Chains A and B, each alone.
Chain A
Amino acid sequence: MAEKPFEGVGQAEEAGYADDLRHFRWRNHGPEEWAGLLLLWVLGGLVFTQFFTRYVLNDSLAWTEEVARYLLVVLTFIGAAGAVRRGTHIRVEALEMAMPARARPALWAVQDALRLGFWAFGAWISFDLADRMGVMPMDSLDHSLAWVYWPVFIGFVLMTLREIQWVWRRWRHGDAPAAQDVLA
């Protein structure tokens, strides 16, 4: 097969396997990514504390496991907004690569519509769910599950907004998805 440009390497470096800090900038990270970082560390601290208390105090705190699960849910949907911002959600590009360059903008328009449609669908449904979950109690804590579903709603809203940003840019500049810089 013909030699391909090294599109994969950029991804691998994005994925964190290039351990140099040359391209690292604090301001390149959006608020949703900062929220994700915070969630990761709180989550890590919580799981570690649970493990630690079980051995040292011989008494594990019952609520830690449940809260850790909820935090993972929130991390998923808030972090997914960060991935929309960076355009790194995993997808298959086989058809796109096989298509003639002239036909690609049409495919991109379809993709844009589908992505935007799905995130907006998620926002709409999760709003409804969060609203109903106000009466559903958590297992071990005296709060309602709405505390888990409202952040999911926020995550979907952020995904929708970031996607609108992408689509807006593409319509203005007509770029390929990969040819764009990460949204500032």
Chain B
Amino acid sequence: MTAAILLLGFLALMALGVPVAIALAGAGVVFALVDGSIPLLAIVHRMVGGVDSFPLLCVPFFIFAGMLMNSSGITERIYDFAVAAVGWMRGGLGQVNVVGSVVFAGMSGTAVGDAAGLGTIEVRAMRAHGYDPKFAVGITAASSMLGPLLPPSLPLVVYGVSANASIGQLFAAGIVPGLLVAFCLMGMVRWYAVRHGYGADAQFRLYEMGRTLARGILPLLTPVLIIGGMRAGLFTPTEGAICAVAWALLLGVIVYRTLGFKAVAKVSFETVEVTATILLIVAASEVFGWMLTTTRASEQVVGWVLAITEEKWLILLLANIFLLVVGLAIEPLPAILILTPIMLPVMESIGVDPVHFGLIMVLNLCIGLLTPPVGIVLFILARVGGISFEDAAKGVLPFMVPLVGVLLLCTYVPGVVMWLPSLWYR
């Protein structure tokens, strides 16, 4: 009963279309009024407590670093390097697309950042080289999935805070699945290129590779800096994020001189806005999660699920389907904050590691960015590619096969996800 009031109140508010933060905290207010034993003061107190957290500090700074990198022309250097490195393969620019995203994912933590930064350059280049725009949009959208998988990853940070899991371990957990996705996508590009007779787009020249590497070496070092520093215990994720900001500013403002005063101010304003909208949801989800626990509602949810089935593989399958469906309608970050307090107890009750589940959740929800009706990555790329949203959705459809394949592999073979975190941290 208690769980029902909370959950139905939340769903009703979400359906009405109020901000997610209001739906989460508002459900708490409704519950407190009905229940009568929870003081209203506790709601705002919990909201403040929800953002009063040191690990959360990496949210603004990873956003800031990613946006600074995107605005400073570093993306072009990465693109040039990728062309020199893999442009000679069949379906060259398709391969460039994947390799470029692998590198870019090491500095940006979101799929949207990857699609709108590097993705825009890639789609334009592929169209200019006579690729089918549907294929171009499809591979670019699919490879943007690497942003949230390979560290640093904003969705994994948010999950880590929400689930109280180690962000370092989550980052490590994303590496193997991310590289697997990249590997499968490169395989698909190869297959596509052979079938459609796409040739190479560049010749391999060692000199060219060396030159672009030298031009791009500083930005290419970013992932090494962040991951290496965290791995070596030099800094916490928060300090890693602030170092990434300092590094991006150093490159953009002093070394390359591509970031002016105005550009930095614009990016700062945007960082504040994105940060505040996400953290207000974090604050509200703290209220929601707290009420789920104190009213034992989360235990009731576990009971409901276990009443349906106790088979681990079936619960995992249902969780995947549920997350994919949610991902169709809700963006990853709010969805993570809403669902983690509800789903994690169920997963823990059947012995799924929180780090493992984090990866499953993020991968599922991010796939929703590539699908109608609200897939923002598709919207951006369809416009850049000059095709309809419908065609863009058709273009990305074949690439769902490797993405869902890796998702199932990650779900049912925990070792794929847990190998690196166990090796490094346990």
Whether A40 pairs with B277 at a CB distance below 8 angstroms is: no
Which one, B96-104, B112-120, B212-220, B398-406, is touching chain A? B112-120
B397 in the interface (beta carbon within 8 A): no
Whether A16 pairs with B67 at a CB distance below 8 angstroms is: yes
A11-B376, A122-B44 known; A72 and B51 CB under 8 Å?
yes
28 contacts between A and B (CB under 8 A): A2-B390, A8-B375, A9-B379, A14-B273, A16-B67, A16-B266, A21-B263, A43-B60, A44-B61, A44-B242, A44-B245, A47-B57, A51-B235, A72-B60, A76-B276, A82-B276, A83-B280, A86-B273, A90-B281, A90-B331, A92-B14, A92-B15, A92-B20, A94-B329, A110-B16, A115-B18, A118-B29, A128-B41
B298 in the interface (beta carbon within 8 A): no
Residue of A nearest to B63 (CB): A16
A6-B379, A68-B57, A91-B17 known; A15 and B112 CB under 8 Å?
yes
Given the complex, which residues of B lie within 8 Å of A121, measured CB to CB?
29, 40
Alpha-carbon distance between A48 and B56 when the two chains are bound, in angstroms: 15
Given the complex, which residues of A lie within 8 Å of B64, measured CB to CB?
40, 44
Whether A16 pairs with B380 at a CB distance below 8 angstroms is: no
Whether A3 pairs with B390 at a CB distance below 8 angstroms is: yes
* In the complex, per-residue mask of A141-183: 1 if CB is within 8 Å of any chain B CB, else 0: 0000000110010000000000000000000000000000000
Whether A152 pairs with B44 at a CB distance below 8 angstroms is: yes
Given the complex, which residues of B lie within 8 Å of A24, measured CB to CB?
262, 266
Whether A40 pairs with B60 at a CB distance below 8 angstroms is: yes
Given the complex, which residues of A lie within 8 Å of B271, measured CB to CB?
16, 40
A17-B113, A82-B272, A90-B331 known; A149 and B16 CB under 8 Å?
no
Given the complex, which residues of A lie within 8 Å of B375, measured CB to CB?
8
Whether B379 pairs with A12 at a CB distance below 8 angstroms is: yes
Whether A96 pairs with B17 at a CB distance below 8 angstroms is: yes
A8-B374, A69-B54 known; A90 and B19 CB under 8 Å?
yes
Whether A115 pairs with B19 at a CB distance below 8 angstroms is: yes
Given the complex, which residues of A lie within 8 Å of B116, measured CB to CB?
12, 17-18
Instruction: List B270-307 residues whose CB lies under 8 Å from chain A.
Output: 270-283
Alpha-carbon distance between A2 and B373 when the two chains are bound, in angstroms: 10
Alpha-carbon distance between A95 and B14 when the two chains are bound, in angstroms: 9
Q: How far is the CB of B155 from chain A (nearest CB, A)?
A: 14
B contacts, CB < 8 Å to A: 13-22, 25-26, 29, 40-41, 43-45, 47-48, 51-54, 56-57, 60-61, 64, 67, 70-71, 112-113, 116-117, 235, 238-239, 242-243, 245-246, 262-263, 265-283, 329-331, 333-334, 372-376, 379-380, 382-383, 388-390, 393
A135 in the interface (beta carbon within 8 A): no
Alpha-carbon distance between A83 and B269 when the two chains are bound, in angstroms: 11
A/B pair count, beta carbons within 8 Å: 230
How many chain A residues touch B (CB < 8 A): the figure is 73
* In the complex, per-residue mask of A59-77: 1 if CB is within 8 Å of any chain B CB, else 0: 0000001001110110111
Given the complex, which residues of B lie within 8 Å of A6, measured CB to CB?
379, 382-383, 389
Residue of B nearest to A153 (CB): B44
Alpha-carbon distance between A67 and B373 when the two chains are bound, in angstroms: 42
Alpha-carbon distance between A132 and B41 when the two chains are bound, in angstroms: 10
Of B242, B263, B271, most buried by chain A (CB within 10 Å of CB) is B242
A4-B373, A6-B379 known; A36 and B60 CB under 8 Å?
no
Q: How far is the CB of A122 from chain B (nearest CB, A)?
A: 6
Given the complex, which residues of B lie within 8 Å of A3, measured CB to CB?
388-390
Alpha-carbon distance between A9 and B15 when the two chains are bound, in angstroms: 23
Of A4, A96, A129, most buried by chain B (CB within 10 Å of CB) is A4
* In the complex, per-residue mask of A116-143: 1 if CB is within 8 Å of any chain B CB, else 0: 0010011001101100100000000000
Whether A111 pairs with B277 at a CB distance below 8 angstroms is: no
Given the complex, which residues of B lie within 8 Å of A68, measured CB to CB?
54, 57
Given the complex, which residues of A lie within 8 Å of B272, measured CB to CB?
33, 36-37, 39-40, 75, 79, 82
Whether B26 pairs with A125 at a CB distance below 8 angstroms is: no
Whether A89 pairs with B17 at a CB distance below 8 angstroms is: no
